[in-house]
């Protein structure tokens, strides 16, 4: 008699699907192959004297390029406030982008000073520059714009003259606001009765 062996067949066609380890190995293999092709293309471009970035861009389809641009636009470069150093750096970059060099003045100074315009260890140009009144006016205008912008975004809350005075100093005013925020809905009726004079 021949022995009959039973073979367990997984349900839902799971035998066709690779395991997680096999999928991971295939992804790693694909990634290594992609890196190898990229390195090979870089070497070919270097041998031909071409720019690798331009050659790589020639192989990208228009749909992929549009998708890439949309993804780049979707990312918000403004991350908001993280710390004071980052805020200061952002302001520095914003202000330096606005600077437009005066090439006529640059050329005049270069002709005036000649070889001394490009300082060496022996040159004594430090402290000899006197800014023109136009440059000073431009700087003052820029500083006034900065002050105006800073005042516009100030977090200071305006004082309301029409509000009832129920405090004796600033600290007491803050305490009363906090108490009103937490307990105002419970004490509204009592407050109204006290104002009308009908409190029991």
Q: What secondary structure, in 3-state letters, does the chain show?
A: CCCCCCCCCCHHHCCCCCCHHHHHHHHHHHHHHHHHHHHHHHHHHHHHCCCHHHHHHHCCCHHHHHHHHHHHHHCCCCCCCCCHHHHHHHHHHHHHHHCCCCHHHHHHHHHHHHHHHCCCCCCCCCCCCCCCHHHHHHHHHHHHHHHHHHHHCCCCCCCCCCCCCCCCCHHHHHHHHHHHHHHHHHHHHHHHHHHHCCCC
Torsion of CA 147, 151, 156, 157, to 10 degrees: 160
Query: Quick one: tokens of 14?
Result: 């799971």
pLDDT band at 12 (very low <50, low <70, confident <90, very high): low
The mean per-residue pLDDT over the stretch 54-60 comes to 81
pLDDT tens by residue, 147-193: 998 888 766 666 677 777 888 998 998 999 899 999 999 988 888 88
Q: What is the pLDDT at residue 146?
A: 87
Are 41 and 55 a contacting pair, CB within 8 Å? yes
Residues 100-117 have pLDDT tens digits of 888 888 898 889 888 777
Q: For 38-42, 53-57, 160-164, 189-193, which range has the lowest pLDDT when averaged over its residues?
A: 160-164
The residue-averaged pLDDT of 36-42 equals 89
> pLDDT-based confidence at 1, cuts 50/70/90?
very low
**Residue 71 in this model has a pLDDT that exceeds 70:** yes
Q: Phi then psi for 150, rounded to 5 degrees? A: -65, -40
Condensed to tens digits (0 to 9), the pLDDT of residues 107-156 reads: 988 898 887 778 787 777 677 778 889 889 989 998 999 899 888 876 66
Judge whether residue 40 has pLDDT over 80. yes
pLDDT of residue 158: 63
Across the chain, mean pLDDT equals 82
Q: Is the pLDDT of residue 87 over 50?
A: yes
Q: Are 117 and 109 in contact (CB under 8 A)?
A: yes
d(CA 54, CA 48) in angstroms, rounded, equals 13
Please work out, in degrees rounded to the nearest 5, the angle formed at the alpha carbon of residue 152 by the alpha carbons of 150 and 156: 90
């Amino acid at each position: 008699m021949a022995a009959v062996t039973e073979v367990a067949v997984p349900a839902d066609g799971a035998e066709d699907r690779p395991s997680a380890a096999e999928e991971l190995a295939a992804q790693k293999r694909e990634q290594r192959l992609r890196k190898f092709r990229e390195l090979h293309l870089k070497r070919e471009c270097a041998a031909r004297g071409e720019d690798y970035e331009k050659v790589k861009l020639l192989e990208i389809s228009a749909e992929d390029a549009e998708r890439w641009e949309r993804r780049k636009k979707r990312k918000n470069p403004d991350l908001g406030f993280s710390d004071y150093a980052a805020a200061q750096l952002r302001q520095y970059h914003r202000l330096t982008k606005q600077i437009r060099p005066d090439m006529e003045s640059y050329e005049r100074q270069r002709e005036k000073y000649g070889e001394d315009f490009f300082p060496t260890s022996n040159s004594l140009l430090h402290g000899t520059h006197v800014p023109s009144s136009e440059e000073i006016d431009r700087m003052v205008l820029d500083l006034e714009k900065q002050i105006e912008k800073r005042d516009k975004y100030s977090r200071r809350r305006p004082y309301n003259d029409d509000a009832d005075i129920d405090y004796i100093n600033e600290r007491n005013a803050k305490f009363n606001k906090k108490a009103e925020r937490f307990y105002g809905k419970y004490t509204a009726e009592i407050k109204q009765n006290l104002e009308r004079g009908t409190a029991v």
